[in-house]
A and B are shown apart, each in its own frame.
Chain A
Amino acid sequence: DQQVKQNSPSLSVQEGRISILNCDYTNSMFDYFLWYKKYPAEGPTFLISISSIKDKNEDGRFTVFLNKSAKHLSLHIVPSQPGDSAVYFCAAQGGGGADGLTFGKGTHLIIQP
């Protein structure tokens, strides 16, 4: 069973607008959540993370929101830029941040000029 779900395989957004990527999880033992960005033929690159004790974390154009009661998190990118076009993976971690990551299937974000 999938413990981390990204239900949108792809998302198309106009340059300059907000991109919102969503992620749901089922395991209440997860206590650390991360977003990774992946370009073709490269490994995933860490983007931003959030601990389960917070509901928001911001880093430049990237903001992650966590709703623990709904077991839902989202990544907001404002404003979206052409270089943001990539596959975005949501990942979750238990064990106080010591375990391996459980990934979703990814969302392919396409930024249109």
Chain B
Amino acid sequence: EAGVAQSPRYKIIEKRQSVAFWCNPISGHATLYWYQQILGQGPKLLIQFQNNGVVDDSQLPKDRFSAERLKGVDSTLKIQPAKLEDSAVYLCASSLRDLQAQFFGPGTRLTVL
């Protein structure tokens, strides 16, 4: 069974530029999550989708971050414009259903200069 796929793996941009990350969850997994992991911290939930609907985006900085999950499968996370403090690893995870473990992709390491 293929795992969660993410691209790109690394991205370097200058502040005020925009960037987009892509995630393809495990086949059949209805729930998809985006997390932000800043160096030295644990991952922090940004947004949770159930199929193509948003379940929780309370910690998403909506003035600059946006996410969508078209057709309930792939998802993209966008930052526009980026700030220095957005430098982090962005992790995508998916789960089959409630009380099932979330499986994580390898992450995208973003550096904002």
Contacts and interface: CB of A to CB of B under 8 A. Distances in A.
Interface residues of B, number: 25
Contact of A32 (B31, B99, B107): B99
Nearest to B48: A100
B108 to A, nearest CB: 10
Interface stretch (B12-20, B37-45, B63-71): B37-45
B44 to A, nearest CB: 7
A44 B43 contact: yes
Contacts of A44: 43, 91, 104
A36 B99 CA distance: 15
B85 interface: no
Contacts of A68: none
14 contacts: A43-B4, A43-B93, A43-B104, A43-B105, A43-B107, A46-B101, A91-B42, A98-B31, A101-B35, A103-B43, A103-B44, A104-B42, A105-B41, A105-B42
Interface of B: 4, 31, 33, 35, 40-45, 48, 55-56, 91, 93, 98-107
Interface of A: 4, 32, 34, 36, 41-46, 49, 51, 89, 91, 95-106
